[in-house]
Amino acid sequence: MSKEFKHIVRIAGVDLDGSLSVAYALSRIKGVGIRLAHAILNRLNIRSDARLGFLGESDVEKIENAILNIKDLDVPSWLLNRRKDMESGEDIHLIGSDLDLRIKSDIELMKAIKSWKGYRHAYGLKVRGQRTRTTGRTGKTIGVKKKRGGRR
């Protein structure tokens, strides 16, 4: 651990707050959740409750290399966000803009093959079976008119 404090630390193309604990700071990276952050830190023998700003350059580089090459850490496959990828058939983990682009391409594929989920995405409706009768409404509010006076 270094003595000087860095307020902003850049890991995997994301500026992270140095005052946060390492695990919670890593969870600010899109595609890295708190459980994956703890798994990475356990594999690298870095305390997860330490402040990110106090880590040395070598620890920050180790964390960045681990996030970019998660498969090399031997974390369980259920922690990865892209298991049995349709194109490669392998378990991979995407972060940042790669994850956004892959999600958009998946939605476009669902729309192209005219699946039910693709239909729901195309029409801007709820996709995962939620109710739509009363929630998720957009536009002008339509409700029940209130009575003007008291009881009659």
pLDDT tens digits along 4-56: 888 999 998 899 999 999 999 999 999 999 999 999 999 999 998 899 999 99
Rounded to an integer, what distance in angstroms lies between the CA atom of residue 126 and that of residue 96? 25
Q: Are residues 43 and 68 in the same domain?
A: yes
Expressed as residue numbers, the domain containing 74 is: 8-79
Q: Which two tokens stand for residue 117?
A: 């989920």
Number of domains in the chain: 2
pLDDT number for residue 151: 66
Decide the pairing of beta strands 8-11 and 14-17.
antiparallel
Residues in a beta bridge with 51: 21
Q: Are residues 22 and 52 in the same domain?
A: yes
37: in domain: yes
Q: Are residues 67 and 123 in the same domain?
A: no
CA dihedral 72, 48, 34, 94 (to 10 degrees): -30
* pLDDT tens, position by position, 100-143: 998 899 899 999 999 999 998 988 889 898 888 888 777 777 77
Q: Are residues 111 and 68 in the same domain?
A: no
* pLDDT tens, position by position, 85-103: 888 888 889 888 888 998 8
